[in-house]
């Protein structure tokens, strides 16, 4: 599919959609293209120019970190998997306070910065787990009061690459050792059910959607009449409109469905065709059988690649599980998020199928044909997107939260360990000092000052050739999945 | 006669029963004395007179008529008596989480003689008794182990304010609200005081003006001055125009300030905010430490921290922060494990290494007197795994005594100090050692031999 064809199709699809839901659906329709917020982002250089203000604001907001001698943290020399801007070989991620300041090669590290020597390693954004259980507690804004930043689960979560988890309504970061910056946002899903609910419930849902749509229509007409100079225009009463459903139609909120079998997925597709809105479907075991339709309605699908159900031979259509589920959905433009079957961190039970093995779950999707970069999106930016926090986390970009993991190999390789985790610009996990992991293939000891000193020397040499500016040029990187 | 002469020549005299003159001395000959004021003394004696240690050291002369208790050769070791800083093992009323600041432990706890007897047998002289419940359960009281009736015999009825927290919005909200309400109550009182002062000042001015006017009227004897005087009174009063002007209907503000009535559950919170009372915050995980710090924020309050944990803990994560706070720390006397491991963790040692100065060691559980019985087991583990022995002895006696305001009774054993000590038949930290005597201000509270006879 050429870019031109996509644009034409996008235009057609947008025109066919009702006025009120255009932004929501258009955003999700083409996951090969960067999501809306990424498209709208200015080029890297411009972002960097805007960055100091943002960082300053962040500094003002953030509580003073007395223990931190320098506000800078630099991850130096690793291959940086930005997710949205490709891979920067031997790159540096420079963080200031809780944000990423610069990303690229040849970045000068300020004196006194905490330096993580990532040479030979891979740097990824922290992984994002939706629907988690047992890592953070509480609900919505209460989560902060219930968060135990020294909990074993936080340690194990970080060791597994997780830096943000959603539990119930709370989206919280694994800010080990501090409460500061824990609560990222509150999930704003509207739970809708079409599977298993009674016909009257379904009728009621449609009636509410129609009511909300009618309100929006009346509002549009009234506003138009006001613009045309009509007097005594009567505005519709917003209080009478069902608020949740209104939010869905205006694209301010996202619908959440649970559906695994094809019949239920079909019902959701029909509903979304009638009422376009941002939506996420959890389960999606047979989603591959309606991949194209799900792609057209712009639904995101949370899948568990290893979840199995045998095909029903009595049906005259495809059914059951497929290891290619994620790949097929992705090919049809569905935003895929990956989740293991057990969404807690398990110290027993189904070992290997819990949140400690999120990358392994994604590796099974890769085995089914999902490109590796799409799998990385599925556990980072896509998960952030369905949580409504993709502007903060899920990729390595200047201005975003400094949530990083540094791995000693490919994230999806079964031998890989997380060596460091950084959350909000703070080093919160170091395998070498982790009670449960330090003894496993310890990394070679290095002189603590050597990397920075060496780097500064190298950079000083490089600066001699371009001494006019200390600002770093972040290389233009083509998105791999574009 | 010869025998009598020989006996009097011996440095050690036998106790002479029945002879009990006022000011009579008792000398205890011991194998060792942990004075907790420098080095321990070997083969030394304590001479007690009138409840005071008259002399302490080796080769003391035995005064005439002194009662002699010779325990040499039995491993007898004296040290200041033990103090249990926090106890919840006495029968008490049942109370859940809430704001019960109005209660003292003496109001809700009923010490049983059996537990008190066990405390005496274990060499415990004082025990800090906690009110039941959680959140803001009330105020602690202090009891001596020879008490009979708690309410009457309590050494201190109203001491620390006990607070507890867990990682829930409800628990944090309870404390936040208490502080907010306390602030409001203080503000209300301040405003009432300002109003009272103003009213007093106005009243005084008015009275003076009245006297002056009356004096002038008397002096001039002119009838036309009278209306002016009345007008002046009306101006300074509370708008009570139309009154007869003699001030009888106006009520004078009280001469002393009467603070507005306060919710009794809030009173100790207000005292705490005013730094008139120390609060004890009970925490069972390092996360709770962070939540606690968040609640108090930048407030300067008097508080101490009770690190209450079971067999595993990762409190070591915040020890530096705890040390930096400079507060007194109470910790269970046990080797704990890092969570979900069998990696041994000597938290009291880690605390002292981090710079905690005022460490108090508690039995492993405040809820069971059995934990007091097993105290020496935990203490010996701590010493074996690195904690300084002398620091441990202090942390179970003179340090908790300071914490509950009994430092004048339980103090290092020195000449001139209180004759309050406990004698064990071996190293006081040896789990097999037993208490032989407990002496408080010269009086024997516990005598193992007599106790056995009974």
Give residue limits of the domains in chain B: 1-80+412-454, 82-180+261-410
pLDDT band at residue A13 using 50, 70 and 90 as cut-offs = very low
Inter-chain Cβ pairs, chain A and chain B, closer than 8 A: 39
pLDDT band at residue B219 using 50, 70 and 90 as cut-offs = confident
Share of chain A above pLDDT 70, in %: 77
pLDDT at A390: 97
State which residue of chain B sits closest to A436, comparing Cα positions.
B341
State which residue of chain A sits closest to B312, comparing Cα positions.
A152
Contact B14, B69 (CB under 8 A): no
B320 at A interface, C-beta within 8 A: no
Residue B286 has its nearest CB partner, among A138, A145, A150, at A150
Q: Find all residues with CB under 8 Å of A388, minimum gap 6, and list them.
A: A185, A187, A188, A254
- Calpha distance A139→A141 (Å, rounded): 6
Tens-place pLDDT, residues B382-417: 999 999 999 999 999 999 999 999 999 999 999 999
Q: Taking all residues of chain B, what is their mean pLDDT, rounded to a whole number?
A: 88
Place of tokens 């050690």: B12
Phi, psi dihedrals of residue A4, rounded to the nearest 5°: -65, -45
Q: Which listed CATH number (3.40.1280.10, 3.40.50.300, 3.90.660.10, 3.20.20.140) goes with B82-180+261-410?
A: 3.20.20.140
Interval B355-362 mean pLDDT: 95
Tens-place pLDDT, residues A310-340: 998 888 888 999 999 999 999 999 999 999 9
What's the gap in Å between the CA of B191 and the closest CA on chain A? 34
- Compute the Cα dihedral for A102, A108, A111, A113 and give only its sign: positive
> For residue B238, what are the CA distances in angstroms to A255, B193, B197, B210, B331?
66, 18, 15, 15, 60
Q: Taking all residues of chain A, what is their mean pLDDT, rounded to a whole number?
A: 82
B287 at A interface, C-beta within 8 A: yes
pLDDT at residue B33 tops 60: yes
pLDDT at A286: 96
Tens-place pLDDT, residues B99-157: 999 999 998 898 899 999 999 999 999 999 999 999 999 999 999 999 887 778 888 99
What's the gap in Å between the CA of B281 and the closest CA on chain A? 17
A320 at B interface, C-beta within 8 A: no
pLDDT at B42: 96
A150 at B interface, C-beta within 8 A: yes
B104 at A interface, C-beta within 8 A: no
pLDDT at residue B69 tops 60: yes
B344 at A interface, C-beta within 8 A: no
Which residues partner with A80 through β-bridges? A88, A123
Share of chain A above pLDDT 90, in %: 64
- How many helices (H) and strands (E) would you count in chain A? 15, 17
Interval B288-306 mean pLDDT: 95
pLDDT at residue B232 tops 50: no
Tens-place pLDDT, residues A123-171: 999 999 999 999 998 777 788 899 999 999 999 999 999 999 999 889 9
Look up residue A392 and give its two tokens.
Answer: 């903060």
Domain covering A3-30+189-386: architecture: Alpha-Beta Barrel (3.20)
Q: Find all residues with CB under 8 Å of A142, minimum gap 6, and list them.
A: A170, B169
By the 10 Å C-beta count (0-12 exposed, 13-18 middle, 19+ buried), B314 is classed as: buried
CATH annotation of A50-185+396-465: 2.30.40.10
Nearest alpha-carbon partner for A133 in A164, A167, A183, A97: A167
B321 at A interface, C-beta within 8 A: no
What's the gap in Å between the CA of B381 and the closest CA on chain A? 23
Q: Find all residues with CB under 8 Å of B378, minimum gap 6, and list them.
A: B332, B333, B334, B335, B363, B364
A147 at B interface, C-beta within 8 A: yes
- Calpha distance B130→B140 (Å, rounded): 5
- Calpha distance B321→B317 (Å, rounded): 9
Which residues in chain A have Cβ-Cβ distances shorter than 8 Å to B173? 145
Domain boundaries, chain A: 3-30+189-386, 50-185+396-465
pLDDT band at residue B430 using 50, 70 and 90 as cut-offs = very high
Place of tokens 């007897």: B117
Cβ contact, residue pair B291, A137, below 8 Å: no
Cα maximum dimension of chain B: 112
What's the gap in Å between the CA of A141 and the closest CA on chain B? 10
CATH annotation of B1-80+412-454: 2.30.40.10
Contact A44, A476 (CB under 8 A): yes
Q: How far apart are the first and last CA of chain A?
A: 12
State which residue of chain A sits closest to B318, comparing Cα positions.
A177
Share of chain B above pLDDT 90, in %: 72
State which residue of chain B sits closest to A147, comparing Cα positions.
B167
Query: What is the rounded radius of gyration, in angstroms, for the C-alpha atoms of chain A?
Result: 24
Contact B404, B157 (CB under 8 A): no
Interval A168-178 mean pLDDT: 94
A168 at B interface, C-beta within 8 A: no
Interval A109-117 mean pLDDT: 95
pLDDT at residue B268 tops 80: yes
Q: Who wins on pLDDT, B423 or B61? A: B423
B236 at A interface, C-beta within 8 A: no
Angle among Cα B33, B37, B38 to the nearest 5 degrees reads 85
pLDDT band at residue A349 using 50, 70 and 90 as cut-offs = low
pLDDT at residue A10 tops 70: no
A372 at B interface, C-beta within 8 A: no
Which residues in chain B have Cβ-Cβ distances shorter than 8 Å to A434? none
Which residues in chain A have Cβ-Cβ distances shorter than 8 Å to B314? 150
- Calpha distance A164→A156 (Å, rounded): 13
């Amino acid at each position: 599919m050429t870019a031109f064809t996509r644009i034409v199709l996008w235009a057609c699809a947008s025109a066919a959609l009702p006025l009120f839901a255009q932004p929501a659906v258009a955003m999700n329709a083409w996951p090969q293209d960067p999501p809306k917020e990424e498209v709208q982002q200015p080029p890297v250089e411009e972002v960097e120019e805007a960055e100091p203000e943002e960082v300053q604001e962040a500094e003002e907001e953030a509580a003073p970190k007395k223990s931190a001698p320098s506000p800078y943290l630099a991850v130096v020399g690793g291959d940086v998997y930005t997710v949205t801007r490709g891979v920067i070989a031997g790159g540096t991620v420079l963080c200031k306070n809780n944000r990423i300041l610069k990303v690229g090669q040849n970045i000068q590290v300020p004196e006194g910065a905490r330096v993580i020597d990532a040479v030979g390693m891979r740097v990824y954004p922290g992984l994002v787990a939706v629907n988690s259980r047992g890592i953070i507690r509480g609900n919505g804004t209460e989560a902060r009061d219930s968060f135990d930043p020294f909990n074993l689960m936080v340690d194990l979560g970080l060791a597994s690459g997780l830096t943000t988890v959603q539990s119930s309504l709370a989206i919280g970061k694994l800010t080990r050792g501090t409460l500061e910056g824990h609560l990222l946002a509150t999930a704003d899903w509207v739970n809708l059910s079409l599977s298993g609910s009674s016909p009257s419930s379904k009728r009621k849902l449609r009636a509410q959607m129609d009511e909300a749509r009618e309100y929006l229509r009346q509002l549009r007409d009234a506003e138009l009449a006001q613009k045309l100079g009509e007097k005594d225009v009567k505005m519709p009463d917003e209080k009478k409109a069902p608020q949740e459903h209104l939010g869905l139609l205006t694209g301010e909120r996202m619908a959440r469905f649970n559906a695994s079998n094809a019949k239920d997925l079909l019902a959701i597709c029909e509903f979304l065709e009638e009422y376009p809105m941002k939506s996420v479907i959890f389960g999606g075991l047979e989603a591959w059988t309606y991949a194209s339709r799900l792609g057209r309605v712009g639904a995101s699908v949370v899948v568990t690649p290893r979840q199995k159900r045998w095909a029903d031979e009595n049906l005259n259509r495809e059914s059951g599980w497929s290891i290619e589920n994620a790949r097929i959905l992705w090919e049809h433009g569905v935003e895929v998020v990956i989740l293991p079957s057990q969404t807690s961190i398990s110290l027993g039970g189904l070992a290997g199928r819990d949140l400690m093995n999120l990358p392994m779950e994604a590796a099974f999707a890769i085995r089914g044909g999902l490109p590796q970069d799409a799998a990385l999106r599925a556990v980072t930016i896509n998960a952030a997107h369905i949580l409504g926090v993709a502007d903060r986390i899920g990729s390595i970009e200047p201005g975003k939260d400094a949530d990083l993991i540094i791995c000693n190999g490919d994230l999806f390789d079964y031998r890989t360990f997380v060596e460091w985790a950084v959350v909000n610009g703070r080093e919160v996990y170091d395998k070498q000092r982790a009670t449960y992991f330090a003894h496993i293939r310890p990394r070679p000891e290095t002189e603590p000052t050597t990397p920075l000193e060496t780097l500064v020397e190298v950079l000083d040499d490089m600066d001699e050739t371009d001494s006019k500016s200390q600002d770093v040029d972040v290389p233009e990187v083509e998105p791999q999945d574009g | 006669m010869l025998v009598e002469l020989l006996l009097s020549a011996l440095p050690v005299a036998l106790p002479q029963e029945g002879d009990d003159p006022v000011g009579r001395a008792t000398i205890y000959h011991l194998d060792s004395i942990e004075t907790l004021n420098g080095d321990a003394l070997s083969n030394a004696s304590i001479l007690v007179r009138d409840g005071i240690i008259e002399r302490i050291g080796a080769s003391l002369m035995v005064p005439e008529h002194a009662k002699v208790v010779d325990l040499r050769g039995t491993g007898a070791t004296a040290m200041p008596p033990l103090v249990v800083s926090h106890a919840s093992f006495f029968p008490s009323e049942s109370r859940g989480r809430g704001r019960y600041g109005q209660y003292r432990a003496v109001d809700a706890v009923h010490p049983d003689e059996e537990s008190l007897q066990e405390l005496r047998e274990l060499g415990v002289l004082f025990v800090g008794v906690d009110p039941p419940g959680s959140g803001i359960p009330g105020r602690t009281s202090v009891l001596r182990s020879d008490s009979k009736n708690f309410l009457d015999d309590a050494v201190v009825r109203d001491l620390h304010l006990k607070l507890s927290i867990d990682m829930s919005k409800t628990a944090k909200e309870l404390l936040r609200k208490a502080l907010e309400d306390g602030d409001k109550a203080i503000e209300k009182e301040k405003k009432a005081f300002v109003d009272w002062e103003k009213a007093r000042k106005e009243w005084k001015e008015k009275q003076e003006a009245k006297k002056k006017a009356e004096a002038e009227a008397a002096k001039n004897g002119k009838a036309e001055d009278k209306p002016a005087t009345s007008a002046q009174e009306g101006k300074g009063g509370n708008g009570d125009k139309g009154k007869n002007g003699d001030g009888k209907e106006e009520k004078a503000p009280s001469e002393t300030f009467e603070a507005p009535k306060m919710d009794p559950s809030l009173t100790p919170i207000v005292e705490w905010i005013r730094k008139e009372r120390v609060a004890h915050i009970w925490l069972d995980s390092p996360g709770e430490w962070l939540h606690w710090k968040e609640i108090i924020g930048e407030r300067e309050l008097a508080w101490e921290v009770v690190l209450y944990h079971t067999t595993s803990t990762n409190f070591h994560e915040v020890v530096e922060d705890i040390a930096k706070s400079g507060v007194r720390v109470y910790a269970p006397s046990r080797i704990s494990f890092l969570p979900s491991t069998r990696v041994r963790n000597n938290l009291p040692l880690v605390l002292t290494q981090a710079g905690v100065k005022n460490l108090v060691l508690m039995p492993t559980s405040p809820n069971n007197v059995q934990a007091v019985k097993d105290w020496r087991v935990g203490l010996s583990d701590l010493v074996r795994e690195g904690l300084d022995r002398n620091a441990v002895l202090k942390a179970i006696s003179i340090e908790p005594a300071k914490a509950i305001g009994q430092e004048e009774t339980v103090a290092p054993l020195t000449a001139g100090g209180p004759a309050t000590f406990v004698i064990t038949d071996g190293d006081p930290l040896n789990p097999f050692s037993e208490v032989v005597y407990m002496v408080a201000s010269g009086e024997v509270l516990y005598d193992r031999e007599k106790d056995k006879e009974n």
